[in-house]
Structure 1
Amino acid sequence: MPIELKMPALSPTMEEGTLAKWLVKEGDTVKSGDLLAEIETDKATMEYEAIDDGTITQILVAEGTDNVKVGTVIATIAGEGEDTSAKAAPAAAPAAKEEAPKQDVAPAKAGAAGDSAPNTPAPASAGATEKAAPAASGDRIKASPLARRLAAERGIDLSALKGSGPGGRIVKDDLDGAPVGAAAAPAAAPVAAAPAAAPAAPAAAPAAASEIPDFGIPHEDSKLSGMRKTIARRLTQSMQESPHIYLTVDIRLDALLKLRTELNASLEGRGVKLSVNDMLIKALAVALERVPACNVSFGGDVMRHYKRADISVAVSIPGGLITPIIVDAGGKSMSKISTEMAELAAKAKEGKLQPGEYQGGTASISNMGMMGIKQFTAVINPPQGMIMAIGAGEKRPYVVDDALAIATVMSATGSFDHRAIDGADGALLMKTFKELVENPLGLVA
């Protein structure tokens, strides 16, 4: 019996994902631990590894397919000694056909709640496009399913492109900069001729365009990624459900900057270089340990009090924002925090973070100082109770020992869930954070 490969749940909250790319093809022999595919979840693109040894007999879900439900059979493997000549076992084809309606139904339900409605036709139009492209040309055009679908949406003539993929295959990157519009009319005719695709294709544009009025301004619409949809949903949820209270303090950085220089000199040759952000992560964690009333989450009928400070650090990545976590930041040295942060940030930018590295956290920190932002307020990352927004350190006139002087000062703003954290407790946390930064030897002890 062939082994069924099913869409995995790559995080506790994952219900569906996008099969971004196949790393194998039919007929390939794979071993346990080999990479099979790249799957886009609501937070990152992650790699799917083989568990069993065998030969790929059939790929049932094309790369580039959106809204693939967890548990959907995406491919089959024949084990050692099994017949690999047949592309699929007799039971596999019905399974694949049964799954198609489920993919259509799921986005429709999500669309009723405001998610994913524009993506409903994607699987149907992708399949239709694959058949339409060869019909429009005498020779078969080598292109990935994702490239074909995007080309049809943008009106790009694939026959005019040179592929950079294996064997001259056209991939998504080859579409960048390609002229649009010329192939829109030819592509539409074959798609309209397919009975299943005809009603679905025209429905996509109105569903997507209805959210934004068309004022005749030249524009280009791009499809939302799973990450961007999740960011929109969670931030909307946070602002609607969590009454935010904002508290701001100005903090002198001169002592912290001096200590950073001294510590980096002592760490020279060890491959560690502390950043101001590394030190602020430590300061927030220690402040939360000293003011435990702010290291909490509101749970409706319970208040969760955390026994350690796990700090989620906002990292900007292509297409969105992700928050890798420094676990028990209060109990770690700043050099350890620096090393971990560098590794997590690199993995985040490559889309290689594992769920346990970005899910959880007891509080967050977001630093936009390096972009020159003087002060801002951040949205709480639910179910956490607070987030610290860090502005730029800059030279300002400042009263030092009852005399006007020039000091390096930054503004820090805490956003607190007022259901869980009272203003007085939030103010105490901000005061404690300020004291730790202005007297940073407490971070080394």
Structure 2
Amino acid sequence: MPTEILMPALSPTMEEGTLAKWLVKEGDTVQSGDLLAEIETDKATMEFEAVDEGVIGKILVPEGTEGVQVNTAIAVLLEEGESADDIGSAGSGAGSAAPAPKAEAKDDSAPAKAEAPVSESKAPAAPKKDGERIFASPLARRIAADKGLDLSQIEGSGPKGRIVKADVIDAKASDTPAKSAAPAPASAQAQAQTGAMPTGPATETVLKMYADRDFEEVKLDGMRKTIAARLTEAKQTIPHFYLRRDIKLDALLKLRGEMNKGLESRGVKLSVNDYIIKACANALQAVPDANAVWAGDRILKLKPSDVAVAVAIEGGLFTPVIRDADKKSLSALSAEMKDLASRARDRKLAPQEYQGGSFAISNLGMFGIDNFDAVINPPHGAILAVGAGVKKPVVGADGQVEVATVMSVTLSVDHRVIDGALGAEVLKVIVDQLENPLAMLA
């Protein structure tokens, strides 16, 4: 019997993707491990391998199709002795079971007729019934949240019983248990989980405001949508507070110059950012209670120092994670960071390379920014915003005014995870490490 090749979930959070390119064509024979296609997620373009051998009998989803839901049939694989004539009789039917991804993707950006505009915010988390996940498209979950529908009471008409847009559009609030009797969400996070967060003016409202002006509409790609959803959620649900310090860099810059001269024969050139990564990693070990993340109804305290570093790319950013950063030498950190940044710009990072960590660094000093406040990337407990090193007059230990290179940093902290005194302790260790950089080499 022909086998459906399904759209893979290439990361734990992936629900849909773009089928960027087919690497095979109908009639090709493939073996397990052969590359079938290139799939674009919100963060990267990844290669998809065959898990079975056979002949590509039919390609159901053309390359370039956006918004293809995970577990949607994208092609049909024929086993030995089967032909294209067998495809139409394949039970639920690979050819008939595959929804039209383009139509679904198009509907995702358009308001449903005779309904209030669908929120463009992040879809509510996948619901469960009797401990089992209820499969529903992100658009269906958003519409259900807006209409107050209980997805556990709706029967899906999509592939394998998946709830799709048409199912929730046709359903009425009265068909499901009333939600008005439920207690109001106790927190902003509860509101986020039910899709109740405000998202600003509707698309139609904004378009009317600028109807008499020239403008160009820029289509949101997966990365920009994810950034918008995650950072909106972060600012609305995370109780940020901010700690600021100035750091004198003269000793660090002197040591860096000496080390780079000694490492020149090995082709290694350390950056100030390498020292900052090391200082933050050491601080998480020195203050282990701050090496933590928020996990909904609990806090997870990590033992390794896994530090994420923001890397700007065209159209967005990545935060690749350097694992066990406290155990690595400065030259090893420098080489790993250069590799991660290069592959991030080419969108070639694997999901495990940009997920995780408990602490992040965002350095805009190289762009001449003196200071700024960064938004925490959930579930991290904190992020350090790093400004430029600028020569300033300062009062020395002897009371005399002298010129020093000063860098301003701001630590944004999640108050659910880290209290004020604990955050101040972490920042103090970071400052001490950077002002006395020889300690990093001990």
What TM-score results when the alignment is normalised by the length of structure 2?
0.75
For the pair 1:114 / 2:120, whether they are aligned, the reply is yes
- Determine the C-alpha separation between the residues in 2 that align with 1:92 and 1:366: 52
Tell me, yes or no, if the aligned pair for 1:396 and 1:406 is still in contact at 8 Å. Answer: yes
For the pair 1:97 / 2:70, whether they are aligned, the reply is no
Aligned ranges for residues 131-280 of structure 1 at < 5 Å?
Answer: 209-212=204-207, 213-280=209-276
Instruction: Go from structure 1 to structure 2 and tell me whether the alpha carbon gap of 1:30 and 1:42 turns closer, same or farther (over 3 Å shift).
Output: same
- Determine the C-alpha separation between the residues in 2 that align with 1:418 and 1:408: 31
**Cα drift, residue 291 of structure 1:** 1.6
Tell me, yes or no, if the aligned pair for 1:363 and 1:384 is still in contact at 8 Å. Answer: yes
Aligned pair count reads 357
> Per the alignment, in what secondary structure is the counterpart of residue 352 of structure 2?
helix
Aligned ranges for residues 17-28 of structure 1 at < 5 Å?
Answer: 17-28=17-28
- Determine the C-alpha separation between the residues in 2 that align with 1:301 and 1:380: 18
- Partner residue, 1:425: 422
Alignment match of 1:336 (pick from 332, 339, 344) = 332
The one-letter amino acid of 1:30's match is V
For the pair 1:405 / 2:411, whether they are aligned, the reply is no
Q: Which runs of 5+ in 2 are unaligned?
A: 112-117, 124-137, 140-201
> Per the alignment, in what secondary structure is the counterpart of residue 387 of structure 1?
strand
> Per the alignment, in what secondary structure is the counterpart of residue 267 of structure 1?
helix
- Determine the C-alpha separation between the residues in 2 that align with 1:221 and 1:93: 40
Tell me, yes or no, if the aligned pair for 1:58 and 1:87 is still in contact at 8 Å. Answer: no
Alignment match of 2:298 (pick from 295, 302, 309) = 302
- Determine the C-alpha separation between the residues in 1 that align with 2:303 and 2:295: 16
**Cα drift, residue 103 of structure 1:** 7.6
Aligned ranges for residues 286-301 of structure 1 at < 5 Å?
Answer: 286-301=282-297
Tell me, yes or no, if the aligned pair for 1:295 and 1:309 is still in contact at 8 Å. Answer: yes
Tell me, yes or no, if the aligned pair for 1:2 and 1:89 is still in contact at 8 Å. Answer: no
Q: Which runs of 5+ in 1 are unaligned?
A: 121-206
**Cα drift, residue 107 of structure 1:** 8.0
Tell me, yes or no, if the aligned pair for 2:122 and 2:230 is still in contact at 8 Å. Answer: no
**Cα drift, residue 214 of structure 1:** 2.2
> Per the alignment, in what secondary structure is the counterpart of residue 42 of structure 1?
coil
Aligned ranges for residues 51-66 of structure 1 at < 5 Å?
Answer: 51-66=51-66
- Determine the C-alpha separation between the residues in 2 that align with 1:300 and 1:431: 28
- Determine the C-alpha separation between the residues in 1 that align with 2:87 and 2:235: 49
**Cα drift, residue 375 of structure 1:** 0.5
- Determine the C-alpha separation between the residues in 1 that align with 2:384 and 2:348: 26
**Cα drift, residue 442 of structure 1:** 1.1
Identity %: 54
Q: Map Cα deviations across residues 132-185 of structure 1 (whole Å, 9 max, x no partner).
A: xxxxxxxxxxxxxxxxxxxxxxxxxxxxxxxxxxxxxxxxxxxxxxxxxxxxxx
- Partner residue, 1:441: 438
Aligned ranges for residues 36-75 of structure 1 at < 5 Å?
Answer: 36-75=36-75
- Determine the C-alpha separation between the residues in 2 that align with 1:19 and 1:101: 13
Q: Map Cα deviations across residues 255-285 of structure 1 (whole Å, 9 max, x no partner).
A: 1111112222222232322111111101011
Tell me, yes or no, if the aligned pair for 2:68 and 2:101 is still in contact at 8 Å. Answer: no
The one-letter amino acid of 2:429's match is T
Tell me, yes or no, if the aligned pair for 2:7 and 2:71 is still in contact at 8 Å. Answer: yes
- Determine the C-alpha separation between the residues in 1 that align with 2:75 and 2:256: 53
Tell me, yes or no, if the aligned pair for 1:324 and 1:358 is still in contact at 8 Å. Answer: yes
- Determine the C-alpha separation between the residues in 2 that align with 1:336 and 1:328: 11
- Determine the C-alpha separation between the residues in 1 that align with 2:64 and 2:263: 46
- Partner residue, 1:284: 280
- Partner residue, 1:348: 344
- Determine the C-alpha separation between the residues in 2 that align with 1:301 and 1:274: 40
> Per the alignment, in what secondary structure is the counterpart of residue 391 of structure 1?
strand
The one-letter amino acid of 2:364's match is M
Q: Map Cα deviations across residues 333-391 of structure 1 (whole Å, 9 max, x no partner).
A: 11111111111111111111111111111110011111111111100010111000011
The one-letter amino acid of 1:321's match is L
- Partner residue, 1:416: 413
Tell me, yes or no, if the aligned pair for 1:369 and 1:393 is still in contact at 8 Å. Answer: yes
- Determine the C-alpha separation between the residues in 2 that align with 1:262 and 1:226: 44
- Determine the C-alpha separation between the residues in 2 that align with 1:116 and 1:406: 49
- Determine the C-alpha separation between the residues in 2 that align with 1:34 and 1:398: 63
- Partner residue, 1:132: none
Alignment match of 2:362 (pick from 366, 370, 376) = 366
- Determine the C-alpha separation between the residues in 2 that align with 1:28 and 1:298: 48
CA root-mean-square deviation: 2.6
- Determine the C-alpha separation between the residues in 2 that align with 1:116 and 1:241: 13
- Partner residue, 1:314: 310
**Cα drift, residue 83 of structure 1:** 4.4
- Determine the C-alpha separation between the residues in 2 that align with 1:105 and 1:85: 27
The one-letter amino acid of 1:91's match is A
Tell me, yes or no, if the aligned pair for 2:74 and 2:98 is still in contact at 8 Å. Answer: no
- Determine the C-alpha separation between the residues in 2 that align with 1:379 and 1:283: 20
- Determine the C-alpha separation between the residues in 2 that align with 1:364 and 1:326: 10
Instruction: Go from structure 1 to structure 2 and tell me whether the alpha carbon gap of 1:322 and 1:87 turns closer, same or farther (over 3 Å shift).
Output: farther
Instruction: Go from structure 1 to structure 2 and tell me whether the alpha carbon gap of 1:53 and 1:301 turns closer, same or farther (over 3 Å shift).
Output: closer
**Cα drift, residue 211 of structure 1:** 4.7
**Cα drift, residue 300 of structure 1:** 4.2
- Determine the C-alpha separation between the residues in 1 that align with 2:314 and 2:81: 43
- Determine the C-alpha separation between the residues in 2 that align with 1:48 and 1:260: 43
Bigger mean CA offset, 209-218 vs 280-289: 209-218
Tell me, yes or no, if the aligned pair for 2:2 and 2:86 is still in contact at 8 Å. Answer: no
Bigger mean CA offset, 230-239 vs 28-37: 28-37
- Determine the C-alpha separation between the residues in 2 that align with 1:223 and 1:20: 17
The one-letter amino acid of 1:17's match is G
Tell me, yes or no, if the aligned pair for 1:55 and 1:77 is still in contact at 8 Å. Answer: yes
Bigger mean CA offset, 100-109 vs 223-232: 100-109
- Partner residue, 2:392: 396
- Partner residue, 1:32: 32
> Per the alignment, in what secondary structure is the counterpart of residue 266 of structure 2?
coil
